[in-house]
Amino acid sequence: MKYCTKCVQPDTRPNIYFNEEGVCGGCLWKEKMETTIDWNQRQKELNEIVVETKRKAKKRGTPYECAIGVSGGKDSTFQALYARDVLGLRPLLVNCEPGNISEIGLKNIENLKNLGFDTIALRANSIVQKKLIKRDFYDNLNPGRTTEYVLYAVTYIIAQKFDIPLIIQGENVGLTFGDSKSELGTGDDALIANKHNTLIEGIEPFIKEGLVEEDDMFLFHYDANKLREMDIRGIWMNYYVKEYSFQHNLLFSLKNGLTIRSKDRNLDNLGTYNRYSQLDGSGDLLEVNQMMKHVKFGFGQATDHVNYDIRYGLISRAEGIALIKTFDGKCGNKYIKNFCEYIDISEKEFWDVTNSFRGDMWELDDNGDWKLKNPLWEQEPPSDLDLKEIIAKTDIAAKVGK
Ligand SMILES: [Zn+2]
């Protein structure tokens, strides 16, 4: 595997872009953010969108001016409050309820509702969802994929139903992960969210296979053309708002009642070191899915978080390497057990299928264990670093007493 020379982004990430100097699209975006983007101009454009949106809403007689998908986590809390308090819009919040919400997730969505918004919650049929999860485990080792379908689609569906002129999405990962050179990686148009890697396959394969009926999949997709016809616009907030970042949104949301994982969480179970990403999801599926990403592509959730933290200047690249060496791909056995129970397979079956997807960046060592070939920490061994100290550097919540 080759890695970005600035962060720890590997070249095995699907659709990743690197320039001639070996710098990844994510780092290039960060540089662009700080140098060439005219944020005042973008703010102006955003203000024009707000004026236009208000005009449209009034004309249509709809009480809601924008629809925002929310989980109650750090990003959606920021989005909702920014839209209402800074942009002066009247939002309808759309919550896609996870099947098995965590205690922290429940607290956070309640917190956001109590900050004073109209909210609508939708949850996909759990039996249908389970079928899709099991199918995707066998078919592409990405069982969490269709939960993201719903997560995105519900906001667009509700905007269409209520004729809400603007949809505000948070982060275009095409920009921040440097996933793509295409229109996804450059523009503000959030109606094309369904062209993202995870969503692009759509619902047709499931219906063709006879696994489910089309009407079972209503909440799993949206019709971008119909929205355009109705003159409904979708924008990415991180295209317009300079301060939008992992770290900024966290600090902002902590001030507004966000709950995060405790400092004494069990780090051996988690594929990352940070306390505040994806707080609402059911731990089992999330952790298992991230571990599977590691099996397929040779990197896991810690890599994503390290990349944010390096670009934000919290840690050095060497410190990031120490973190991914320790955390990437870790997944507590309890999560695997629960997942096996959920889709009703044995743990042997689980590992047989999982290992059949192992990417060619893996090899078996002398003990018969899987090991990455020439990973970054062998290419550039981090010298004598204290892991606890590094984690403390990234823990900006602790720095504000949380
Ligand atoms: Zn990079």
Q: pLDDT tens across 189-205, in order? A: 999 988 887 788 899 99
Give residue 178's pLDDT band: very low, low, confident or very high (50, 70, 90). low
DSSP structure class, residue 177:
S
In this structure, the answer to whether residues 52 and 191 fall within a common structural domain is yes
How far is ligand 1, taken at its centre, from the CA of residue 143, in Å? 27
What is the helix (H) or strand (E) element at residue 167, kind and residue range? strand 166-169
Give residue 268's pLDDT band: very low, low, confident or very high (50, 70, 90). confident
Instruction: Return the pLDDT at 278.
Output: 75
Instruction: Return the pLDDT at 180.
Output: 54
Give residue 51's pLDDT band: very low, low, confident or very high (50, 70, 90). very high
Tell me what the mean pLDDT of segment 16-34 comes to: 91
Instruction: Return the pLDDT at 308.
Output: 92
Residue 97 lies in a domain: yes
Instruction: Return the pLDDT at 382.
Output: 84
Q: What is the mean pLDDT of the chain?
A: 92
Instruction: Return the pLDDT at 261.
Output: 86
In this structure, the answer to whether residues 197 and 273 fall within a common structural domain is no
What's the rounded Cα separation, in Å, for the pair 47 and 50? 5
> Which of the pair, 270 or 389, is modelled with greater confidence?
389
In this structure, the answer to whether residues 352 and 304 fall within a common structural domain is yes
User: Residues 203, 217: contact at Cβ < 8 Å?
Assistant: yes
How far is ligand 1, taken at its centre, from the CA of residue 164, in Å? 37
Residue 24 lies in a domain: no
In this structure, the answer to whether residues 268 and 229 fall within a common structural domain is no
Query: Is residue 298 scored above 90 in pLDDT?
Result: yes
Query: Is residue 375 helix, strand or coil?
Result: coil
How far is ligand 1, taken at its centre, from the CA of residue 398, in Å? 26
Give residue 357's pLDDT band: very low, low, confident or very high (50, 70, 90). very high
In this structure, the answer to whether residues 267 and 311 fall within a common structural domain is yes
How far is ligand 1, taken at its centre, from the CA of residue 322, in Å? 16
Instruction: Return the pLDDT at 101.
Output: 82
Instruction: Return the pLDDT at 281.
Output: 61
Give residue 212's pLDDT band: very low, low, confident or very high (50, 70, 90). very high
How far is ligand 1, taken at its centre, from the CA of residue 271, in Å? 20
Query: Is residue 60 scored above 90 in pLDDT?
Result: yes
In this structure, the answer to whether residues 100 and 145 fall within a common structural domain is yes
Long-range contacts of 282-285 (CB under 8 A, 24+ apart): 282/98, 282/99, 282/100, 282/101, 282/102, 283/102, 283/335, 284/100, 284/334, 284/335, 284/338, 284/339, 284/342, 285/100, 285/133, 285/143, 285/144, 285/147, 285/339, 285/342
The amino acid occupying position 54 is: K
Tell me what the mean pLDDT of segment 317-324 comes to: 96
Instruction: Return the pLDDT at 114.
Output: 97
How far is ligand 1, taken at its centre, from the CA of residue 282, in Å? 29
How far is ligand 1, taken at its centre, from the CA of residue 315, in Å? 14
How is residue 35 written in tokens?
Answer: 């140098």
Domain with 343 in it: 263-399
What's the rounded Cα separation, in Å, for the pair 151 and 158? 12
The enclosing domain of 64 has a CATH number of 3.40.50
In this structure, the answer to whether residues 97 and 204 fall within a common structural domain is yes
Instruction: Return the pLDDT at 177.
Output: 66
In this structure, the answer to whether residues 166 and 274 fall within a common structural domain is no
What's the rounded Cα separation, in Å, for the pair 337 and 7? 34
pLDDT in tens, 325-349: 999 999 999 999 999 999 999 999 9
